[in-house]
Amino acid sequence: MTVSAATKSDQAEDFPSSTAATPARRRVTILGSTGSVGRSTVELVQAHADAYSVEALTAHRNVDVLAEQALALRPAIVVVADESCYGALKAALSGTGMEIAAGARAVVEAAERPADWVMAAIVGAAGLPPTLAAARRGATVAFANKECLVCAGPLMMDLVARSGATLLPVDSEHNAIYQVFDFSRRSMVERLVLTASGGPFWSLDRAAMANVGPEQAVAHPVWAMGAKISVDSATMMNKGLEIIEAHFLFGMPEERIDVVVHPQSVIHSMVEYIDGSVLAQLGTPDMRTPIAYTLAWPDRQRAPARRLSLVEVGQLTFEPPRPDRFPALRLARDALQSGGGAPTILNAANEVAVAAFLNRSIGFLDIERVVEATLSFVPPATPKSLDDVMALDQSARRAARRFVG
């Protein structure tokens, strides 16, 4: 359902409509503007205000931050996905002349509006319909949502090929690979190496991990991230999801995608070529760097990230992953090898299990138990459409909730 309200009487002289954008400015839409990636994107747009105009901002339910962003950026439309928040958003932006809308369908419609560049930063499977909508019209889509390729990789890549859209990965690992990957000569690439920080529990044994709580799991030692992705980092499921994402985005077989633990998070990932050359992208662990890369692409722009000093870092260390302690990596590889809808099931079960852990309904090690049980229980039918993906996603969630209970 879409709820919308904006009339000419709402307009005030001190808040001109942003629809009359300067032609030279890139028109942008930020889906999920109140999350960690969304806020960093807003910061960069504000820092380069002469280069961008904002078409749309969307959020799930954080009306206070969304309204603050809207007053600063003056988008043409502001959308809150939770319809119960519509009244509060409308009141907060009364008299500004901005169009206000609410509901899941309104988020998709925001993605369909004529922005040149779209940041897809909605967490989880909920981000899939609006991201696909932006890609369908041929936009440049910067995506921080792993689930788009994990849940619907073949559909997404086929849509991009047909529409002429450009996919720019925001995840630091895939963004690093994108910067050094020779797309014109894919056959020259030997393998991809995804780096992982190891998360907060890298040095713990299984007995100790059984007793950790949400506060410890979200306290990432290097990166500042949202709660869900922080837990994924703690289980190393994030790296499993990234293997699946890299498989579809770069067309690389699963067995040629490696993971190495690199606690300093200075090398963000690497590409090895058939002559033995290994190209890496380095930088301080700051999401504003890959966001800035996608925002200015194919050019570059200044970002406020602290500059890297290898002298200060002193040393870079690497370790192999520990599948005995972190079985999520194995579950993700198994799902990718199984094919069909298995990655969709993996993602849905993980979202349910992580939410249950954050709500203290299950323990930390129960996350992998719920995911593995759901993968064994739900038939991995191959989705042929977005409706198929969403139906399989819902089926997997129902099963995962049973295993949580």
Give the angle subtended at the CA of 152 by the CAs of 66 and 85, to the nearest 5°.
20
Confidence of residue 223 (pLDDT cuts 50, 70, 90): low
Per-residue confidence (pLDDT) for residue 224, from 0 to 100: 64
Work out the number of other CB atoms within 10 angstroms of the CB of residue 65. Answer: 15
Strand 3-5 relative to strand 99-102: parallel, antiparallel, unpaired?
antiparallel
Q: Which two tokens stand for residue 247?
A: 């498989």
Q: Which two tokens stand for residue 222?
A: 């290097």
**Averaged pLDDT for residues 262-285:** 97
Q: What is the largest CA-CA distance in the chain?
A: 66
Per-residue confidence (pLDDT) for residue 15, from 0 to 100: 32
Whole-number Cα distances in Å, 358 to 201, 218, 232, 324: 16, 9, 11, 23
**Whether residue 185 has pLDDT greater than 90:** yes
Confidence of residue 125 (pLDDT cuts 50, 70, 90): confident
Can the peptide bond before residue 298 be classed as cis, meaning omega within 30 degrees of 0? yes
Spatial contact of 90 and 115, defined as CB atoms under 8 Å apart: no
Write out pLDDT tens, residues 9-41. 333 333 334 444 444 799 999 999 999 999 999
**What is the set of domains in the chain, with CATH numbers?**
3-170 (3.40.50.720), 177-287+318-399 (1.10.1740.10)
Cα(338)–Cα(323) distance, integer angstroms? 19
Q: Which two tokens stand for residue 281?
A: 């992208």
**Whether residue 398 has pLDDT greater than 80:** yes
